[in-house]
Amino acid sequence: MQVEFFSYDVVTSTNDIAFQKLRDAVDVVDKLFVVTAEHQTKGRGRNNKEWHGDSAQNLYYSCSLRHIISEQPMSSIQIIGGLACYNLIFELLGSERVRLKYPNDVYVLFSDTNGNLIPKKLSGIIAEHHFSGGESCDSILGIGINNKQEVFPNEISDLATSLSLNGVLIETEELKFRLTDHIVRLLESDYDSVFQN
């Protein structure tokens, strides 16, 4: 699968730009357009929630793909995003504390003083779809990964974590390429095998 990368300083949402890149392409199937930005002014999560993130500290990532629904059902796109994030974060942390909460969150479990496990969100995933015909679909996968952020807004400070807070030091650029590798591998896998992961 061919991949084309685009990086920006500031965008409204990487999902918006990724969709536009796909719209500008003519008759492109099975090519991945990957968009990242240092800042998002209107980053969004699932159910129209805002994605909180400290500027230039995290990975703001979207990829867009035109595909044939009968070959790559829309439901598999969200699954692929979740599994790609989970696999990458598990690989980086090497910890059984990593959990995928389908369909859209990757958490790390922490023990409180009473030994209770508290989930803290490290990554969020959102899939959006636009139909371009009865058998084809434009799908955008938006992913946010808290990378170097160590201070979060008060309202989510007890609910969020980052790679650096878990002892992982990685440049956001490398994170982008490694996440893309995981996504491409899953997209190129047999559809049934994705569900067996």
Q: Is 60 exceeded by the pLDDT of residue 120?
A: yes
- Residue 134: pLDDT band (50, 70, 90) is confident
At position 112, the amino acid (one-letter code) is D
Alpha-carbon dihedral 42, 3, 162, 103, rounded to 10 degrees: 70
Q: How far apart are CA 74 and CA 76, in angstroms?
A: 5
Q: Which residues fall within 8 angstroms of residue 106, CB to CB, at 6 or more apart?
A: 82, 85, 86, 89, 98, 99, 100, 121, 122, 123, 124, 125
Report the percentage of the chain scoring pLDDT > 90: 60
Which residue segments constitute the domains of the chain, with CATH numbers given?
A: 2-196 (3.30.930.10)
Q: Is 80 exceeded by the pLDDT of residue 122?
A: yes
Considering the entire predicted model, what is its pTM? 0.90
- Residue 44: pLDDT band (50, 70, 90) is low
Average pLDDT, the chain: 88
Per residue in 138-179, pLDDT (tens digit) is 999 999 999 999 988 888 888 999 999 999 999 999 999 999
CB-CB contact of 51 with 124 (8 Å): yes
Note the Cα 149 to chain centre separation in Å.
Answer: 17
Q: What is the mean pLDDT of residues 125-138?
A: 85
Note the Cα 109 to chain centre separation in Å.
Answer: 19
CB-CB contact of 5 with 173 (8 Å): no
- The two most distant CA atoms of the chain are separated, in Å, by 58
Q: Is 60 exceeded by the pLDDT of residue 50?
A: no
- The residue among 59, 58, 50, 77 whose CA lies nearest residue 5 is 59
